[in-house]
């Protein structure tokens, strides 16, 4: 007698959800994906798309064609009824609601940018988490240069337009600053030679150091490298409010800006906050070492929206990817009635690009920096890209940028 498939619904299309999707066996499960994003995004290379080093579509993988025999809904979940095993969803385009029944439900909706309740962040700052964010940043950079080149413009206004401010000294903020520096010195200098002397890049960090998850020596090396590149790094700089043209710091100083990129960490989505499950102080869903939501047998949670009880893992793509792969293999084993072992995270190290063909590598077996590490950085990310299509496109993008330069058109 043929065994009936269990209905598995996955909420989300990030690293955790996508690696689960790739590892799950559709022979055992009827897989349904619900997400307002119909593609997987390789976020480690997202800063490169903001300046055209890599094109947007080179680092995405459509969900509908990612695996055979799956169903995808362009929607987001608004409510979970675990007693009836039903979720309520809303179409992300027209707002129409519908319900789906499940046997197993995986919550992997990720997290959102943390504004810390600072006035003006949502209205005036640009985040960097999605392709739409990267495109908006890319457009704003060119727009500001075009505005700054207007004849008769006051000097103070031109300086403001050409002041690019990044809030947050983590890997995303540092890598965007590095990519922007390369764009300025390698491409915009040819298109706007008179503007370049008036350009400033400022990185604001509320803490005592940038890249605080990296080895201290690598963090110091990045500071020295940024000094050579004329990227201003201001530590102990906490933003208290933002308006359309300037931001206010806790020390009372005003910082005019033309572009403000906000990259200061994560907070949970309204959906996760609304769930009646046990959460930690950061509002993340608490799970056991098998990713069962605490107190539930049919609910699972993983990625940035969840935390394993009594374990503190960083909110990185590496962690989410390992969690998703583990859960897919574990569910396959359960379908075969085989025992499973609890999840164990294996740290493979961290990488970051810091501009001028230099990168950092903070690995368990070594610490690296400089040009040779940049070669390793590119090679590592190339191997981690999901499909051969992405690998080929990214290689061609790198070659095109090297030979012809990055495009400076606005469209």
Band (265; pLDDT cuts 50, 70, 90): confident
Strands 239-242 and 246-249: antiparallel
The number of C-alpha atoms within 13 Å of 198 and in the hemisphere containing its C-beta is: 19
How is the beta sheet containing 367-370 ordered, strand by strand? 350-355, 358-362, 367-370
Q: What is the CA radius of gyration of the chain?
A: 22
As a whole number of angstroms, the distance between CA 31 and CA 262 comes to: 35
**Domains along the sequence of the chain with CATH:** 6-111+268-335 (3.50.50.100), 121-265+352-404 (3.50.50.100)
Min mean pLDDT across 1-5, 150-154, 264-268, 307-311 is at: 1-5
Q: Residue 51 and residue 139: Cα distance in Å, rounded? A: 9
pLDDT at 3 over 70: no
* Confidence at residue 1, expressed as pLDDT on a 0 to 100 scale: 46
Report residue 148's pLDDT band, with 50, 70 and 90 as the boundaries.
very high
Q: Which helix (H) or strand (E) holds 392?
A: helix 388-404
pLDDT digits (tens, 9 = 90+) for 330-376: 999 999 999 999 999 999 999 999 999 999 999 999 999 999 999 99
Which of 269, 359, 197 is CA-nearest to residue 11? 269
User: Stretch 130-148: mean pLDDT, rounded?
Assistant: 97
Rounded to an integer, the average pLDDT of 127-143 is 96
CB-based burial of residue 194 (10 Å sphere; 0-12 exposed, 13-18 middle, 19+ buried)?
A: exposed
pLDDT at residue 2, rounded to an integer: 56
> How high is the pLDDT of residue 131?
96
pLDDT digits (tens, 9 = 90+) for 29-65: 999 999 999 999 999 999 999 999 999 999 999 999 9
* Residue (of 55, 261, 52) closest to 177 by Cα position: 261
Q: What is the mean pLDDT of residues 172-197?
A: 96
List pLDDT tens digits, range 16-29. Answer: 999 999 999 999 99
Average pLDDT for the chain: 96
Are 87 and 98 in contact, with CB atoms under 8 Å apart? no
Adjacent-strand bridge partners of 307? 286
Q: For residue range 71-110, what is the model confidence (pLDDT) as tens digits?
A: 999 999 999 999 999 999 999 999 999 999 999 999 999 9
* pLDDT at residue 182, as a whole number: 97
pLDDT score recorded for residue 411: 73
Torsion of the alpha carbons at 205, 208, 211 and 215, rounded to the nearest 10: 170
């Amino acid at each position: 007698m043929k065994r009936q498939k269990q209905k598995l619904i996955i909420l989300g299309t990030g690293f955790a959800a996508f690696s689960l999707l790739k590892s799950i066996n559709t022979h055992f499960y009827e897989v349904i994906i619900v997400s307002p994003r119909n593609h997987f995004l390789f976020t480690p290379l997202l800063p490169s798309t903001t300046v055209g080093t890599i094109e947007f579509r080179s680092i995405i993988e459509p969900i509908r064609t990612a695996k055979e025999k799956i169903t995808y809904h362009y929607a987001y979940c608004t409510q979970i009824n675990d007693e009836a095993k039903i979720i309520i969803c809303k179409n992300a385009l027209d707002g129409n609601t519908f319900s789906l029944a499940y046997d197993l439900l995986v919550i992997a909706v990720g997290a959102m940018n943390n504004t810390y309740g600072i006035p003006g962040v949502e209205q005036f700052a640009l985040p960097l988490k999605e392709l739409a964010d990267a495109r908006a940043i890319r457009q704003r950079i060119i727009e500001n240069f075009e505005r700054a080149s207007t004849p008769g413009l006051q000097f103070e206004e031109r300086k403001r337009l050409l002041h690019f401010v990044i809030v947050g000294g983590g890997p995303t903020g540092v890598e965007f600053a590095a990519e922007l520096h390369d764009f300025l010195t390698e491409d915009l200098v040819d298109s706007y030679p008179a503007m370049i002397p008036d350009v400033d890049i400022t990185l604001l960090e509320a803490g005592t150091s940038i890249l605080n998850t990296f080895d201290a020596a690598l963090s110091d090396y990045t500071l020295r490298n940024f000094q050579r590149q004329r990227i201003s790094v201001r530590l102990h700089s906490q933003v208290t409010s933002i308006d359309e043209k300037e931001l206010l710091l806790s020390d009372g100083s005003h910082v005019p800006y033309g572009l403000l990129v906000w990259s200061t960490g994560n907070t949970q989505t309204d959906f996760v906050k609304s769930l009646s499950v046990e959460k930690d102080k950061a509002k993340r869903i608490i799970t056991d070492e098998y990713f069962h939501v605490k107190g539930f047998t049919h609910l699972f949670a993983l990625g940035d929206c969840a935390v394993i009880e009594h374990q503190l893992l960083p909110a990185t793509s590496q962690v989410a990817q390992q969690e998703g792969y583990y859960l897919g293999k574990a569910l396959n084993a359960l379908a075969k009635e085989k025992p499973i072992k609890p999840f164990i995270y294996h740290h493979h190290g961290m990488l970051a690009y810091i501009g001028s063909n230099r990168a950092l590598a903070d690995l368990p077996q070594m610490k690296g920096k400089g040009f040779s590490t940049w070669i390793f950085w590119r090679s590592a990310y190339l191997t981690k890209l999901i499909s051969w299509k992405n690998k080929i496109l990214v290689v061609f993008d790198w070659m095109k940028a090297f030979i012809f330069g990055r495009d400076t058109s606005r469209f």
